[in-house]
């Protein structure tokens, strides 16, 4: 198979395992490209991409922009904080105005879950979801799986635990879909208040004891505590959260195997992981960032090849 | 070998058999030696996907039969440099690039099995720039399809010239991949 089954990347939920395999295979080639002396290919010379960020982002935005520029696409950027959205313009109006400038693809981050799906039904452009509220963040999940595959050889059959704020995390949901699709065993671990009800219906096991979870897993994906999304107090104090669910070097060393530590960033050092863990050889956090560019290049390239002239 | 059932429905003729391919490869190897001496300043680059086999074969021939030491070989994929992205019916699928060589200020020889429109070589000329600025670039092809070029590109070393009309396809088979060394003209 050499073509994606979808015209937009709205979530991992809409992909099949061949799509993921194709994205990874294409990302392998782009990873080689971005390690060349000249890290650019001319494939997307005639494609224009709009990055619409209705919510703050640093690394995802940079990563997408770099991926687009490495593919030679023309890029326009848009941040909600400096736009007419503040003046009351609707999402469709904003996007249609941008599309009338002949834009072929839209990369969008939005605080509302389902914003990408909504947009894909109403505008004539290829949409990439760069995070929609607490729903999905597909490229992050793809780069996480890709990094696991790179470190451990395969994702299939591996035990992966996602630790932390599952309730507010789009990274968690996309990761669960992606990992299950590739045949991994998935566990979620965190305080009960931050675990959504009925999460086990997605085929994951639930654990509230971090040590048990770490003993079981090959990979631990440590999520950030998203204070900005918390309207009420979900745990008594940050210190207590760290004591129960923070990973430090002492815990890692006490395990009878060497597990891989991941983090989607930005890290709250000393909260979900300590500095010595984040900077240790077991952590592949910076590999994730590098792989992010290759994965996004692959997704953009594969979707762009489906845009008819 | 792989596509035997399909062959029956198409008319095809043998252009070169294994012996002829072998003779031509030796001649091309000798022509390369004539120009590049000990290859100390030369890099052979097989153009993916099919030029890889010819490049590997020539390289091993130069090493074993002509005692060339320190031969440098790379494989270059040109998919992302092609000019028909979004223009062909099938999506373009990439191949591996293996360029563990420094091309800066070197003599580069592109190696491909069939030279047809010249567009792949045009893409390769762009692609190689991502790895540095070669001093000189030459082109070696096993089969040169005359009168079918879309671009002003000609080989420096050619195995055999062929006049094939547009609905014919020239297929080069290699033992490593297809079970035999042979060149066919296939009418589709």
CA dist list (Å): B42 to A86, B24, B45, B175? 61, 21, 10, 26
Which pLDDT score is estimated for A227?
A: 74
Which pLDDT score is estimated for A82?
A: 64
Which pLDDT score is estimated for B89?
A: 77
Which pLDDT score is estimated for A84?
A: 64
Query: Are A79 and A181 found together in one domain?
Result: no
Q: Is B4 on the interface with A (CB under 8 A)?
A: no
Count Cα neighbours of A99 within 13 Å in the Cβ-side half-sphere.
18
Tell me which of A23, A29, A48 to substitute to probe the interface with B (most B C-beta atoms closer than 10 Å): A29
Query: Are A107 and A16 found together in one domain?
Result: yes
CA dist list (Å): B83 to A18, B92, B97, B150, B186? 27, 11, 18, 12, 26
Residue A42 lies in a domain: yes
Cβ-count burial of A5 within 10 angstroms (0-12 exposed, 13-18 middle, 19+ buried)?
exposed
**Residue A91: phi, psi to the nearest 5?**
-60, -45
Query: Are A88 and A223 found together in one domain?
Result: no
What CATH number does the domain containing A284 carry?
A: 3.40.50.1370
Query: Are A225 and A239 found together in one domain?
Result: yes
Region for residue A224 given its phi and psi (left: phi exceeds 0; alpha: psi -120 to 50; beta: otherwise): beta
Taking CA–CA distances from B104, the nearest residue in chain A reads: A37
Residue A202 lies in a domain: yes
How many helices (H) and strands (E) chain A has is answered by: 11, 9
* Owner of token pair 């080639």: A29
Contact check, Cβ <8 Å, B86/A304 = yes
Angle at the Cα of B57 from the Cα atoms of B52 and B61, rounded to 5 degrees: 150
Query: Are A254 and A165 found together in one domain?
Result: yes
| Complex prediction ipTM | 0.82
Per residue in A224-252, pLDDT (tens digit) is: 887 776 667 788 888 899 999 999 999 99
Q: Which residues of A have a CB under 8 Å from any CB of B?
A: 2-3, 26, 29, 32-33, 36-44, 46, 71, 301-302, 304-309
For residue A36, list chain B residues with Cβ-Cβ distance below 8 A: 99, 130-131
Residues 6+ apart with CB under 8 A from A284: A147, A150, A151, A260, A261, A262
The range of the structural domain enclosing residue A125 comes to 12-136+291-304
Kindly report the three-state secondary structure assignment for every residue of B95-162: CCCECCCCCCCCEEEEEEEEECCCHHHHHHHHHHHHHCCCCEEEEEEEEEECCCCCCCCCCCEEEEEE
Query: Are A51 and A76 found together in one domain?
Result: yes
Contact check, Cβ <8 Å, A33/B80 = yes
Residue A80 lies in a domain: yes
Query: Are A254 and A183 found together in one domain?
Result: yes
Pairing mode of beta strands A219-222, A260-262: parallel
- How many domains is chain A built from? 2
Query: Are A148 and A200 found together in one domain?
Result: yes
Query: Are A216 and A125 found together in one domain?
Result: no
Residue A64 lies in a domain: yes
Contact check, Cβ <8 Å, A43/B81 = yes
**CATH code 2.40.40.20 for B13-83+96-187:** no
Tell me which of B77, B78, B80, B84 to substitute to probe the interface with A (most A C-beta atoms closer than 10 Å): B80
Query: Are A152 and A62 found together in one domain?
Result: no
Query: Are A126 and A177 found together in one domain?
Result: no
Q: Is B93 on the interface with A (CB under 8 A)?
A: yes
> B171 has which bridge partners?
B184
Taking CA–CA distances from B83, the nearest residue in chain A reads: A43
Query: Are A271 and A150 found together in one domain?
Result: yes
> Taking chain A (309 residues) in consecutive chunks of 10 residues, what is each chunk's mean pLDDT?
90 96 96 92 94 90 96 91 72 86 93 93 92 95 97 96 93 97 96 93 95 96 82 82 93 93 92 94 95 97 89
Per residue in A90-114, pLDDT (tens digit) is: 888 888 888 888 899 999 999 999 9
pLDDT tens sequence for chain B (188 residues): 333 334 444 688 899 999 999 999 999 999 999 999 999 999 999 999 999 999 999 999 999 999 999 899 999 999 999 998 888 877 788 889 998 889 999 999 999 999 999 999 999 999 999 999 999 999 999 999 998 999 999 999 999 999 878 788 899 999 999 999 999 998 87
For residue B93, list chain A residues with Cβ-Cβ distance below 8 A: 2
């Amino acid at each position: 198979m050499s073509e994606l089954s979808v015209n937009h990347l709205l979530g991992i939920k809409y992909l099949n395992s061949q799509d993921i395999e194709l994205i990874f295979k294409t990302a392998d080639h782009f990873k080689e490209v971005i390690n060349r002396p000249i890290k650019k290919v001319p494939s997307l010379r005639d494609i224009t991409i709009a990055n619409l960020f209705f919510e703050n982002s640093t690394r995802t935005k940079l990563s997408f922009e770099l991926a687009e520029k490495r593919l030679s696409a023309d890029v326009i950027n848009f941040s909600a904080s400096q736009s007419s959205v503040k003046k009351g313009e609707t999402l469709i109006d904003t996007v249609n105005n941008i599309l009338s400038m002949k834009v072929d693809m839209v990369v969008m981050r939005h605080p509302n879950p389902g914003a990408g799906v909504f947009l894909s039904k109403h505008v004539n452009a290829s949409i990439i979801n760069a995070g929609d509220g607490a729903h999905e963040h597909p490229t992050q999940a793809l780069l996480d799986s890709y990094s696991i595959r790179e470190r451990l050889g395969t994702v299939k059959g591996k035990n992966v635990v996602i630790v932390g704020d599952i309730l507010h995390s789009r990274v968690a949901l996309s990761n669960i879909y992606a990992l299950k699709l590739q045949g991994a065993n998935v566990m979620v671990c965190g305080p009960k208040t931050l675990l959504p009800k009925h999460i086990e219906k997605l085929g994951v096991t639930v654990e509230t004891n971090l040590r048990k979870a770490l003993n079981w897993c090959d990979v631990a994906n440590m999520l950030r505590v998203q204070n900005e999304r918390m309207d009420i107090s979900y745990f008594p104090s940050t210190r207590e959260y760290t004591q129960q669910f923070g990973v430090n070097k002492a815990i890692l060393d006490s395990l009878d195997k060497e597990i891989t530590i991941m983090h989607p960033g930005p890290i709250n050092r000393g909260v979900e992981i300590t500095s010595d863990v984040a900077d240790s050889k077991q952590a592949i956090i910076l590999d994730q960032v590098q792989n992010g560019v290759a994965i996004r290049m692959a997704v953009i390239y594969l979707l762009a090849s489906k845009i008819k002239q | 070998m792989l596509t035997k059932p399909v062959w029956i429905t198409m008319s095809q003729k043998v252009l070169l058999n294994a012996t002829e391919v072998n003779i031509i490869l030796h001649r091309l190897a000798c022509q390369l030696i004539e120009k590049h001496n000990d290859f100390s300043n030369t890099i052979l680059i097989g153009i993916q996907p099919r030029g890889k086999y010819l490049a590997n074969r020539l390289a091993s021939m130069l090493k074993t039969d002509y005692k060339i030491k320190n031969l440098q070989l790379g494989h270059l994929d040109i998919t992302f440099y092609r000019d028909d992205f979004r223009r062909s019916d099938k999506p373009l699928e990439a191949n591996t690039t293996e360029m563990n060589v420094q091309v800066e200020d070197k003599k580069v020889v592109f190696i491909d099995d069939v030279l047809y429109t010249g567009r792949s070589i045009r893409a390769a000329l762009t692609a190689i720039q991502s790895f540095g600025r070669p001093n000189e670039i030459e082109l070696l092809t096993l089969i040169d399809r005359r009168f079918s070029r879309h671009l002003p590109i000609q080989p420096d070393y050619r195995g055999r010239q062929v006049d094939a009309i547009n609905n014919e396809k020239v297929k080069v088979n290699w033992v490593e991949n297809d079970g035999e060394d042979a060149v066919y003209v296939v009418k589709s």
